Amino acid sequence: MKPKILILASLLGLLSACTQLTGPTPTPFPVDYLPTVVALTGQAIMETANASIPTAFPTETSLPTETPIPSTAFPTFTPTFEPGFTDFAQIQFISPGPMSSVVSPISLQVMLVAGESEIVQVDLIGEDGRILQRTLERVSRNMSGNYRSFDIAFEIRAVSERGYIRISSKDEYGRIQALNTMPVLLYSVGSNQINPVGNMIYERVMLEGLEDGDEVSGGVLTLKGKIWPFNTQPVFAELLLPEGKPVSSRVLVFKGIDPESFETTLPYKVTEPTLARLVFRQENPELYVSDPDLKKFIYVYTMEVLLKP
């Protein structure tokens, strides 16, 4: 009996196990559930990735090729306009301004109209007249002006000294066509303190009734206008032939450095129509050494006139 009972118990246990295996299976996912899970998972990944990426990227903006914009911000100023002096200088300083304190290298920025030679010379002059740095650059003659920037490196023995940035350009005959100067304070150490240029953006000579290229006849050139002296030195007015020989000259003396009216004449004698350059120039008495080419000039303004008998 006992063996039969054991066999019967075994059969009942086997049937019970089979019943569990063939019982109800888990409910399957809906047909569209799997794509929904994939989409939700992808969206979560993208949101996480986007959160780790900056919302804006830095962009590079190239400067215009014809009229570059200076990289440094200029001090704002409101110049006091002097009546009559409204023509921008042929050599117009943008930065630095007068008596700025500068260390090496100087970041010089200018607008200029090159002379007929299309060669521009930039000099940094020490207080004794020595040339601390000289640069020559070819610049196309554009009557609207060309923007130029220069880095002027220098070394001085003292802690500081007075200096001058002098820019000049010549015509096709080698005569000075334009020259302008900016006084600065040179320091061997320290930081820059840049002053605005103020009214120094204008020409310092204003002529009435005479323009570049005008014809003159009768043997006398009458000059009338205003001059804004750079210093207390006399201003020389002269007519130069193409080879540089003076035809006529006058010395104009002013009371100070404020604008003054003047009137004078330059007599001349020619036998045929002759192109001459009318020159107004002033010297810098603080320069102890004279440049053999540019002398001690601190400012030169010129125009061309056709002299007729």
Residue 81 lies in a domain: no
Which residue among 152, 171, 203 closes a domain?
Answer: 203
Residue 30 lies in a domain: no
Q: Both 228 and 198 in a single domain?
A: no
Q: Both 198 and 301 in a single domain?
A: no
| Structural domain boundaries enclosing 132 | 87-203
Give the predicted TM-score (pTM) of the model.
0.73
Q: Both 195 and 92 in a single domain?
A: yes
Residue environment code for 53-82, b if the CB has 16+ CB neighbours within 10 A, otherwise e: eeeeeeeeeeeeeeeeeeeeeeeeeeeeee
Strands 146-152 and 260-267: unpaired
Per-residue pLDDT for the chain (309 aa), expressed as one digit of tens each? 444 444 444 434 433 444 444 444 444 444 444 333 333 333 433 343 333 333 333 333 333 333 333 333 333 444 555 677 889 999 999 999 999 999 999 999 999 999 999 999 999 999 888 999 999 999 999 999 999 999 999 999 999 999 999 999 999 999 999 999 999 999 999 999 999 998 889 999 999 999 999 999 999 999 999 999 999 999 999 999 999 999 999 999 999 999 999 999 999 999 999 999 999 999 999 888 888 889 999 999 999 999 999
Report residue 165 as tokens.
Answer: 């940035």
CATH of the domain at 216: 2.60.40.2550
Residue 31 lies in a domain: no
Q: Both 167 and 273 in a single domain?
A: no
C-alpha to C-alpha distances, 105 to 48, 94, 125, 126, 186, nearest whole angstrom: 49, 16, 14, 15, 10
Q: Both 91 and 199 in a single domain?
A: yes
Residue 270 lies in a domain: yes
In the chain, the number of structural domains is 2
